[in-house]
Amino acid sequence: MNDKPVGIVGGGLAGLSAACVLAGRGHKVVLFEANEWLGGKAAERVQGGFRFDMGPTIVTLPSVLRRVCEEAGSSLEQEFEMVRLDPQWRSFFQDGSILDLVQDEASMVAAAERFAPGTGQGYAGLLKQADALHKITDKYFFYKPIGGISDMFRATDYFKPSVLKAIAGLKISQTVGGMLRKHVPDARVAQMLDHYTQYVGSSPENSPAVLCGIASMQSKEGVWYPIGGTRAVPVALTRMAERLGVDLRPGCGVRRILHEAGRVVGVETTAGERVELSAVVSNMDAVRTHTELLGGETGQRFTRRRKYEAACSGVVLYLGLRQRYEHLLHHNFVFSRDPHEEFDAIYKKGEPAPDPTCYVCAPAVTEPAVAPPGGEALYVLVHTPYLRPGHDWKKMLPDYRRVIIDKLKKTGQMPDIEERIVCESHLTPQDIHERYRVLNGAIYGLASHGRLTGAFKPSNRARDLRGLYLAGGAAHPGPGMPMVLMSGWIAADALDKDVKTTVAA
């Protein structure tokens, strides 16, 4: 297989991660990217002297990025200047109260208790449960190609007490929302913790409790900011890939993945070129990979096996402010009046929430260079439903922008924000759908809904075609910057092992 290169379709974070790992292990790699830039959603917008990260803004689990750097023969310290953010974020609530999430458990327990008596020990109990879930996922779920619970354990494992204990420990009968509220009685603190699940673009009321493990991961490894913004991540991955000799082809899309006798043999580009390949890692959405790049019986088998739902989408406002707000931290949440109303609108009714939660990133406190002196490159994200028939965001955006701005004025304590705006741009679900070629405008790939299946995405080793591997937010282990980087590593590792197995045979 090694006389032909490995192809990677899509140069998002997962595709770049896979490229670095494969090239670092000695494979010839060619990467195709339809857009003119590499990095996917981790792009950058420069406007009026302001610099905005367009997509992800929070770096967690730096150990994943460290592993990718080491695979490429480098190190995290060599490639990045990383700043730890603590408090990790500030929460603004409808009643005017404010609570900061801090990394140290004892400090957070004390802060929660001061904020709402009786909540401190509940937070400690939740974190203990999250630690247990994190240990299970570390042992059985991460860094291996998983498509369902049967992939986590061998058939003979089910007779082992340790495995039976691990399965019971997954808390399959519980949801994130249920587990949180079992431990945390205060509605505001529970709402703050709900938003760990928003890393995966899903409702905590319909997501499996195992996702509470995110709280443990963030508590243990912290929240970080790379100087240069999160755009610094794909820039560094690209630099490492180039050093390793990866053939990077931005502006070159793929029309079809070619296969014969049940095996991938190459791709056909949008320019009509046929490129012979030994295997393909697709960083395109897993559903669209099967329905658009493969199609036919192969694509139909995938869609028949399980019906996947897109995760939520969002509206992003990029607001250049002439003067920053001193009461904002780097990361902030301006919470809705009622999370149940909000989640019901987004995830059940398929409508924008009437009173939304706004995630607000104000990076100038950490890196003043993102804005002119004294200014702020404010990034505001509000989750919305994925695209539904009848959604016309060209018509919907002006009214919804007013809803968002009013929320920032009142709950976010920014009454004069409109007077401070000197430049503005936006992304809508339709923009996201067209710009990033995702499923129905979903920011986070596939939804994590369902107590039994919600944690499972399509396996990185595709089931229907030998030599096809999947990476990105719509593949295992799911969305979020560290998870998509991990998915690229898993896809590359599975491919590399399969090649060595074939050669040895």
Count of CB atoms within 10 A of residue 400's CB?
17
In DSSP terms, which residues pair with 384 in a beta bridge?
313
- Do 285 and 180 lie in one domain? The reply is no
Exposed / middle / buried, residue 49 (Cβ in 10 Å: 0-12, 13-18, 19+): middle
- Residue that is last in its domain, among 163, 185, 217: 217
Can you give the residue range of the structural domain that contains 491? 6-40+230-307+448-504
CATH code, domain with 264: 3.50.50.60
In DSSP terms, which residues pair with 314 in a beta bridge?
383
Confirm if 456 and 478 have CB atoms less than 8 A apart.
Answer: no
Residue at 393 is within a domain: no
- Residue that is last in its domain, among 217, 244, 277: 217
Strands, E, within 278-405: which ranges?
Answer: 279-282, 313-321, 331-334, 358-361, 376-384
- Do 144 and 249 lie in one domain? The reply is no
- Identify which of 479, 481, 23, 480 has the alpha carbon closest to the alpha carbon of residue 239: 23
Exposed / middle / buried, residue 99 (Cβ in 10 Å: 0-12, 13-18, 19+): buried
- Which of helix, strand or coil describes residue 226? strand
Tell me the HSE value of 262 on the side-chain side, using a 13 A CA sphere.
4
- Which of helix, strand or coil describes residue 419? helix
Confirm if 268 and 274 have CB atoms less than 8 A apart.
Answer: yes
Residue at 473 is within a domain: yes
- Do 141 and 169 lie in one domain? The reply is yes
The pLDDT of residue 198 is 75
Overall number of domains in the chain: 2
- 15-31 b/e with 16+ CB inside 10 Å = b? bbbbbbbbbbbebbbbb
- Identify which of 270, 269, 252, 374 has the alpha carbon closest to the alpha carbon of residue 325: 374
The pLDDT of residue 505 is 60
- Do 110 and 179 lie in one domain? The reply is yes
Amino acid at the residue 478: G
Count of CB atoms within 10 A of residue 36's CB?
8
Confirm if 385 and 347 have CB atoms less than 8 A apart.
Answer: yes
Amino acid at the residue 220: K
The answer to whether the predicted template modeling score (pTM) of the entire model surpasses 0.85 is yes
Give the DSSP H or E segment for 61.
none
Residue at 490 is within a domain: yes
Pairing of strands 331-334, 50-53: unpaired
- Do 117 and 207 lie in one domain? The reply is yes
Residue at 78 is within a domain: no
Residue at 402 is within a domain: no
- Do 254 and 185 lie in one domain? The reply is no
Residue at 240 is within a domain: yes
- Do 210 and 244 lie in one domain? The reply is no
- Residue that is last in its domain, among 217, 244, 264: 217
Pairing of strands 44-47, 50-53: antiparallel
- Do 203 and 298 lie in one domain? The reply is no
Confirm if 227 and 77 have CB atoms less than 8 A apart.
Answer: no
Residue at 98 is within a domain: no
- Do 303 and 452 lie in one domain? The reply is yes
- Do 110 and 206 lie in one domain? The reply is yes
Any residues with CB less than 8 A from the CB of 497 and at least 6 apart, and which?
none
- Do 127 and 213 lie in one domain? The reply is yes
pLDDT tens digits for the chain (505 residues)?
458 999 999 999 999 999 999 999 999 999 999 999 999 999 999 999 999 999 999 999 999 999 999 999 999 999 999 999 999 999 999 999 999 999 999 999 999 999 999 999 999 999 999 998 888 888 888 999 999 877 776 656 655 676 556 666 566 678 888 889 999 999 999 999 988 877 788 899 998 888 889 999 999 999 999 999 999 999 999 999 999 999 999 999 999 999 999 999 999 999 999 999 999 999 999 999 999 999 889 989 998 988 889 999 999 999 999 999 999 999 999 999 999 999 999 999 999 999 999 999 999 999 999 999 999 999 999 999 999 999 999 999 999 999 999 999 999 999 999 999 999 999 999 999 999 989 999 999 999 888 777 788 999 999 999 999 999 999 999 999 999 999 999 999 999 999 988 776 6
Tell me how far apart the alpha carbons of residues 281 and 491 are, in angstroms, rounded to a whole number. 7
Confirm if 58 and 223 have CB atoms less than 8 A apart.
Answer: yes
- 317-343 b/e with 16+ CB inside 10 Å = b? bbbbbeebbeebbbbbbbbbbbbeebb
Question: Is the Cα dihedral 452, 14, 63, 495 positive or negative?
Answer: positive
Phi-psi map region of 229: left, alpha, beta (phi>0 left; psi -120 to 50 alpha): left
Pairing of strands 468-470, 279-282: parallel
- Do 126 and 210 lie in one domain? The reply is yes
C-alpha distances in angstroms, 390 versus 83, 185, 269, 350, 396?
43, 39, 32, 11, 11
Tell me how far apart the alpha carbons of residues 94 and 113 are, in angstroms, rounded to a whole number. 19
Residue at 200 is within a domain: yes
